[in-house]
Chains A and B, each alone.
Chain A
Amino acid sequence: MTPEPTKQWKSLLGIAAITATLFGMETATSMVVPDDLVFDVNSRVEGVFPETWIHGSKSAMDNTDPAVQVHRYNAHTYILRENKAINYEGAFMYLFFGNQKALLIDQGSTSSPALFPLRDVVDGIITAWEKAHQRTNTQLIVANSHLHGDHYAAWNQFVDRPDTLMVGLTHEEVMAYWGFDDYPEQRVTYDLGGRQFIVTGTPGHQSSEIALYDTWTDLLYTGDMLYRGRLYLEDWQAWKASIKRLRDMADDYPVAHLVNNHIEMTATPTIDYPIGTTWQPDEPPMQMTLDMLNTAVSASTEIERPGIYKYDHFLIYNEVPWAYTTDP
């Protein structure tokens, strides 16, 4: 029972009308759908740091703070901090967004998903970010500043996450992912969906450490090799060369702030909180200045022997066996 010819023509006309309507709708919606985000290399996009970070509590029992503090530095940059009552390291973690990609640097010091639900927190940030910027299918890259267990304890929480790339926890995997073939001297350009990072090797505290410079925010991320605290250096010569590389980076690129992994100093120069402190009411800011980098540069030329050296904003534990740590 084939339909009569006129009916066939009517059907075809109907189909053509539907197709035309769809093209019309597409044109209309294309005016609404957002374009790719543009991360300009040449102009600095500012962000804000919190007045103070959540810094633990006098008694861990009274701690009602979230397990992970989420701070939005700017629209596409998040800084996370592990609750000091869960682990005194109070490690900072970073989540950078580009088009279709998000880069998570470090996964904290606690493995337990119940105590430290980092995966849930990161998923929440990504979902909210996707909603706010009308995007889907963001791939998460799980990477690390360096290969110490206090910076990847919750790594496993991401292993079965869909659309996720695990860089890996061995030196070779790290080198292969960033594309180093001449670590640590080399500078590699890393593209996070249109957002350019300059990555270089910064061993000294740990032999696989990297530093990242974000050309969009002008943040220079120095991980565990330079922060306001006790800089434990296992390889002095390597650290000395790494500090120089950071200084060179700051000469070649404009730096807004140096950001990093921990706060162990008090607001009083040269005085640190004892190791294991879970309440730091008198914390200085996390971000550091180029002056402090310069201090580290001069320290790297002054120090010749193993030992503990005190500076206003950090202490250098140069190849000191940790047993001899003399905290106040």
Chain B
Amino acid sequence: MKMHMRKHPRRYLFRLTFVLAALAFTNIASAHMLNMTHIEVQTQEIEPTKITLRIDLGQSLMSADEYWTLANAPSAEQAMLMRNVKEQLDAGLRFEVDGTTASPTLQSWDFPAVSLAAIENPLTPQMATLTYHLSAIPRDSIGVSLADDFAVPWPCLVRLDIAGRELPVSRLLTSYDRNSGSVALHGATTGEDVDIGALMVSASQDWLPSLSWVVIGFQHIIPRGLDHIAFVLGLFFLSTGLRPLLLQVTGFTIAHSLTLGLAMYGFVSVPAAIVEPLIAASIVYVALDNLYASHLAPFRMLVVCAFGLLHGLGFAAVLQEIHMPQESFAQALLLFNVGVELGQIAVIAGAFALVGAFRSRSWYSSGIAHPATMGIAGVGAYWLLKRTIF
């Protein structure tokens, strides 16, 4: 084993850091993690938001002796004895109400302690309770975070009881993940009180993890959205020029974004049994129209937009099957749509890359566009039959 280590000093170093890190975790304090920190946030309609912090002070921000002294001091002296701890808490605990920082004010405290030995033993946590008020009454969202240099007994469970909501919301803060993100007070799915400004704020906050929604949107075109690919290719094979193509795709995009949003917020709902066959019919229509018309008629532009509305409902149906994060609903929806658009652009770009160079050739129509359009019509007819009769 030693030989092996000498040969691979780097690996040894890695192992050593692993072990040091591991040792930090293999602390007896983590038995059932009984002394983990709790933050409870309770919003109310008119009264200030109440925050309850339960923390093992004698194992974190103060020594066990200091905590024992604090616990036994008459309440008049406690404010003095806890001054240092209060400063650390004021700097370490951060609240955000409707996107702006809000500072809590300490209302009351309770410092129980059975014995000094109990404080010293992490298996018998003597949890201090501190109660705060937030003067700003949240209307749209609330968030909790812990400053980077603020260490509490980890992890820290955040429980949010939001006025008017049946169930609490839970968040876990760890030394790696110190921010709860902003938690929306209203379930966005109800479609009530949608404040676009606040939504944009929350959409711009910690957006990085949500990038996965762009990926999901993209995947609903490539590879999963075969019917949408067929439709977009149908548009591609009609247009001899770039302008009519862009016009159609733009109209289609605006239309499907509109119905996707409306459907996801519950404003419209059309059963899949109606939407799905119509989407298939739209593919057949566009393809047949390609075979008989060689330019973009204004009527066709209208039809394409109408079909866009349908396709939006189709996206909504698949999206509704996925569990959407309630508190960042608008953001997820927006990013999903971005992904859909990127997928659409990729389809057109791919088609251009394959056959774009031959668009001006005399045989393009009979050799490429015509057979491709027939293929699209055939696939559309297959879906149409499958979604209606079979």
Please give the residue numbers on chain A whose beta carbons come within 8 Å of chain B beta carbons, in ascending order. Answer: 1-3, 8, 11, 14-19, 21-23, 26, 60-64, 85-89, 109-115, 139, 148-150, 152-153, 155-156, 159-165, 168-170, 172-173, 176, 224, 232, 275-276, 278, 321-323, 325
Asked whether, in the complex, the Cβ of A22 is within 8 Å of the Cβ of B174, the reply is no
Q: Is the CB of A148 within 8 A of B33?
A: yes
* Interface majority SS (helix, strand, loop, mixed), chain B: helix
Using a CB-CB cutoff of 8 Å, which residues 282-317 of chain B contact chain A? 287, 291-292, 294
Contact with A along B21-59 (1 / 0, CB 8 A): 111011010111110100000000000000000000000
Q: Compute how far the CA of A43 lies from the CA of B390 in the bound complex, rounded to whole angstroms.
A: 35
A-B contact pairs, 20 of them (CB 8 A): A2-B292, A14-B371, A18-B375, A19-B385, A63-B22, A85-B26, A109-B25, A112-B21, A115-B21, A149-B155, A150-B32, A152-B155, A155-B172, A156-B177, A169-B170, A170-B167, A172-B167, A322-B34, A322-B123, A323-B121
The count of chain B contact residues (Cβ–Cβ below 8 Å) is 60
* Chain A residues whose CB sits within 8 angstroms of the CB of B381 once the complex forms: 15-16, 18-19
Q: Choose among B123, B155, B169 the residue that contacts A168 (Cβ–Cβ < 8 A).
A: B169
Interface of A, helix, strand, loop or mixed by DSSP = loop
Determine whether B154 belongs to the interface, using a CB cutoff of 8 Å to chain A.
yes
Q: Chain B residues near A109 (CB, 8 Å)?
A: 25, 30, 33
Residue of A115, A149, A155, A275 touching B33 (CB-CB under 8 A): A149
Q: Would you call A18 and B379 a contact (CB within 8 A)?
A: yes
Q: How far is the CB of B354 from chain A (nearest CB, A)?
A: 19
Query: Do residues A115 and B22 form an inter-chain contact, with CB atoms below 8 A?
Result: yes
CA distance A155 to B176 in the complex (A): 12
Complex formed: what's the CA distance from A37 to B166 in Å?
36
CB distance from A163 to the nearest CB of B (A): 5
Let me know if B16 is at the binding interface, CB within 8 A: yes
Q: Within 8 Å CB of B155, what residues of A?
A: 111, 149, 152-153
Tell whether, in the assembled complex, residue B25 and residue A87 are in contact, meaning their CB atoms are under 8 Å apart: yes
Chain-A contact segment, one of B188-196, B208-216, B249-257, B260-268: B208-216
* B130, CB-defined interface residue at 8 Å: no
**Residue on A nearest B122 in the bound complex, by CB:** A322
Partner of B19, one of A60, A88, A150, A323: A60
Q: Is the CB of A173 within 8 A of B168?
A: yes
- Smallest Cβ distance from A243 to chain B, in angstroms? 19
Would you call B16 and A323 a contact (CB within 8 A)?
Answer: no
A112 and chain B: residue at smallest CB distance? B176
Contacts of A325 in B (CB 8 A): 123
Pair B378/A153 contact, Cβ less than 8 Å: no
Q: Are A87 and B292 in contact (CB under 8 A)?
A: no
A156 and B124 form a contact (CB under 8 A): no
Q: CB-nearest residue of chain B relative to A22?
A: B382
On whether the beta carbons of A61 and B374 are closer than 8 Å, the reply is: no
Give the chain B neighbours of A162 by CB distance below 8 A. 212-213, 215-216, 322
Q: Are B30 and A89 in contact (CB under 8 A)?
A: yes
B385 touches A111 (CB 8 A): no
Contact across chains for B168 and A170 when beta carbons are under 8 A apart = yes
Partner of A17 from B166, B216, B378 at Cβ < 8 Å: B378
Q: How long is the Cα–Cα vector from A115 to B19 in the complex, in angstroms?
A: 10
User: Smallest Cβ distance from A127 to chain B, in angstroms?
Assistant: 15
For B21, the chain A residues whose CB sits under 8 A away are 112, 114-115
Q: Is the CB of A22 within 8 A of B379?
A: yes
